[in-house]
Structure 1
Amino acid sequence: MIVAIEGIDGAGKNTLTMALVAALAAAGRRVGTLAFPRYSVAPLGPAARAMLTGDPALAPVAASARASALLFALDRANARPELDAAAAGDGVVLVDRYVASNAAYGAARLPAEERAGFRDWVAAIELGDLALPRPDLQVLLRVPVQVARARALSRAAADSGRGVDRFEADEALQARVALEYDELARSGWAAPWLTVDRAETAGASAPGADAMAASVEAAVEKVLRDLL
């Protein structure tokens, strides 16, 4: 079973993924993880990282929503053995960003009238031509754009080896991506969706770090109800 964890940069996808790993293991399920792009896996992962961090040699790729989407798609295609095994097995593989991330980020970079066609194109390329397995569930982790942006900037500041990439740095892009994700979930794009709104699951009375912990716990409970 493939469960894709989706959301804008700084939404808390890795935090939710690790919490779900622990919860699923405690429930007796076999569980694994994947994350895309696979920045450390040559040749496409390092190229994706270089593109996102402004390598001039990859500027033409970065300038085109479709060219950069193909780079991300081919990185996933190189992981077909792991993905096919996950789709066929009885365990759960949690994937931090999957096909929907390509649809959301690419469409958000295009004029409004081109976005629906782009989403269809991504599905045709990744799920059709490249024959990537469809996810069994797509979890949209929703969080206010300003909150997510602050988390992404804080994360980059805490890690000297990881700067803010060109997508993370563009607040207007992140806001459009959030709307694209909402549309993908609303329309049931590619596979079933479960939306977890962290602003709602935190609860009105839980401040600061307590709010974060409360929202993660509530999100885990909501996802587990769909999986177990």
Structure 2
Amino acid sequence: MKGKLIVFEGTDGSGKATQAKLLCRRLEQEGLAYREIDFPRYGKPSAAMVEEYLRGGLGKKAGDVNAYAASVFYAVDRYASYRQDWGDFYEGGGLVVADRYTTSNAVHQASKLPDGEREAYLNWLFDLEYGRMGLPKPDLVVYLDMPTEITERMMRRRESDTGTHADIHEQDTAYLRRCRANAGEVARLCGWTVVHCADGDAPRTVEDIHGEVWQRVREVL
């Protein structure tokens, strides 16, 4: 008996980690068992090429590494995670909450391609991970749509507060804008659940967003 897989997706700084944790807290309150996963798995051998890519070791801009090559880096990490960490739990009927998944390649890597090539890429991506690698398809993808202007402010504040350094995705505002534009189209094509996280120029509160997310999650539990 296969389980349920709920994925949070969005551009960098859109609040995926926050909303994933709020959902997990709600599941605990409801007495529901779950596993929480997130990608990439920094520090794991399977994520080594992802880290090399994001730190700029293969090119200083995201576009220096083509969509297909970068996608394989991430896919390998997901496959290892499934085999090592959560596959048995899922296959036994467990509920899994993911901060990013295959869907992140659809958001970030497809944005590197011209309009006429994106559909072929998506078909290749989903066949690679869900078909040939045997990774489970999500039961629900919650796409957190946050304007790039807001996410950029939030990321710069996070860097200042934590002393961290932005990766090559997070440094490139033009790239982040392309990702958001691409994600809107991918969300429509793939039937993702879109949650709008801002009211004009102001972000909604995390509690308000969580309330909407929980309503959508309850429909698939």
Give the TM-score, by structure 2 length: 0.87
| Alignment-derived partner of residue 221 in structure 1 | 214
2:197 aligned partner: 198
What 5-or-longer segments of structure 1 have no aligned partner?
Answer: none
Distance 2:76 2:205 in 1: 35
Amino acid at match of 1:66: Y
> What letter matches 1:143 in structure 2?
M
The one-letter amino acid of 1:163's match is H
1:13 is matched with 16
| Percentage of identical aligned residues | 29
Quote the residue 1:108 is aligned against: 111
Are residues 26 and 227 of structure 1, via their aligned partners in 2, closer, same or farther at CA, if it must alter by over 3 Å?
Answer: farther
1:159-183 per-position Cα deviation (integer Å, ceiling 9, x unaligned)? 22x3111111111211221122222
CA contact (8 A) 1:5 1:13 kept: yes
Greater shift in the superposed pair: 60-69 or 88-97 = 60-69
The 3 A distance-change label for structure 1 pair 64 and 213 is: closer
Q: Is the 8 A contact 1:29 1:91 kept in 2?
A: no
How many residue pairs get aligned? The number is 214
Structure 1 Cα separation of the partners of residues 216 and 92 of structure 2? 19
SS at match of 2:177: helix
Distance 2:21 2:94 in 1: 16
With over 3 angstroms needed to count, the CA separation of the structure-2 counterparts of 1:103 and 1:83, relative to structure 1, is farther
Q: Deviations over 1:196-223 (max 9, x none)?
A: 11125xxx8xx77xx4244333334333
Q: Tell me the amino acid that sits aligned with residue 106 of structure 1.
A: Q
Asked if the contact 1:2/1:86 (under 8 Å) is kept, the reply is: no
Structure 1 residue aligned with 2:146, among 138, 143, 161? Answer: 143
CA drift at 1:20? 0.3
Alignment-derived partner of residue 59 in structure 1: 59
Which amino acid is 1:212 matched to?
T
TM-score by length of 1: 0.85
CA distance in 1, matches of 2:118, 2:5: 26
C-alpha change, 1:119 and 1:16, in structure 2 (3 Å) is: same
In structure 1, what is the equivalent of residue 185 of structure 2?
183
Question: Structure 1 149/78 Cα, relative in aligned 2: closer, same or farther at 3 Å?
Answer: same
Deviation digits for residues 37-85 of structure 1, max 9, x if unmatched? 111211x323312221112xx3399522211111011111111233433
Q: 1:137 to 1:213 in 2, by over 3 A?
A: closer
How far apart are residue 95 of structure 1 and its match?
0.6
Partner AA of 1:221 in structure 2: W
